[in-house]
Amino acid sequence: MTPCESPPLSRVDLVADHSHSHAHVHVPARTVLTAAALTSAAAAAEVLGSWRSGSLFLTADAVHLMAHLGIFIVLLIPTTRSHEQREDFAAVAVLVLVTLIAVGILIDAIQKLLSTATEAPSPAFMLLALLGLTANLATAYLFRDPAATRWSFRAALAHELADATVTIIALGGAVAIALFAWRWVDPALTLVVGVWLVVWAGRLLRRRALIGSRAWVLEKE
Ligand SMILES: [Zn+2]
């Protein structure tokens, strides 16, 4: 395979040059929307599964997948100079939202870990996490091209791969529940999700605080 040469001016670029706006559109909206559709479907299935099974992990994973929709919205914002402030504001808003969701997940997980009334969920329903895993891996695959040139997509791709890892650990947890009916596994997995999200959002917010709005566009030019 030969590496792709950088293409000549695309139709989008030519159209943009005729228009007054200096649009330089490289964000593949269809890619982001496909990833969003897969993610929404997985989240919906997990919400239903969490109701039936009582799995806190499935609830946390579903809520977390919905937070991805916020990330996808940020990726859809055109990257013209005039839109950078909007992209920056949206990115910070999503990260703050993810942090709040993560804190909620952590509180729920700790309460369930400490509660003696906690019962192990039906592990079979936790297989629904496979849908989340599929959405994570499909999104990572779809983002591999834009991730080569855009830092925001690279961050999103890395996040999806880390999510996939957490989900694989959770599937191991479901096996443990099936074998040993351990009560603490489901809230412990939930705790892992909460900690991972706090670390991820915290690191990006710290990057934003340290280097300003350039945090999102370093590799854009
Ligand atoms: Zn995630």
Tell me the CA–centroid distance for residue 138 and ligand 1, in Å. 13
Tell me the CA–centroid distance for residue 196 and ligand 1, in Å. 9
Tell me the CA–centroid distance for residue 176 and ligand 1, in Å. 23
pLDDT of residue 195: 96
Rounded Cα gap, residues 211 and 96, in angstroms: 17
Rounded Cα gap, residues 87 and 213, in angstroms: 9
Report the CATH fold assignment for 27-216.
Alpha-lytic protease prodomain-like (1.20.1510)
- The overall pTM is greater than 0.85: no
pLDDT, mean of residues 14-39? 65
pLDDT digits (tens, 9 = 90+) for 179-205: 998 999 999 999 999 999 999 999 999
Asked whether residue 79 carries a pLDDT value surpassing 90, the answer given is no
pLDDT of residue 3: 44
pLDDT digits (tens, 9 = 90+) for 159-170: 999 999 999 999
Tell me the CA–centroid distance for residue 15 and ligand 1, in Å. 35
Closest CA to 159 of 117, 204, 124: 204
Tell me the CA–centroid distance for residue 205 and ligand 1, in Å. 16
Tell me the CA–centroid distance for residue 68 and ligand 1, in Å. 6
Tell me the CA–centroid distance for residue 178 and ligand 1, in Å. 26
pLDDT of residue 38: 95
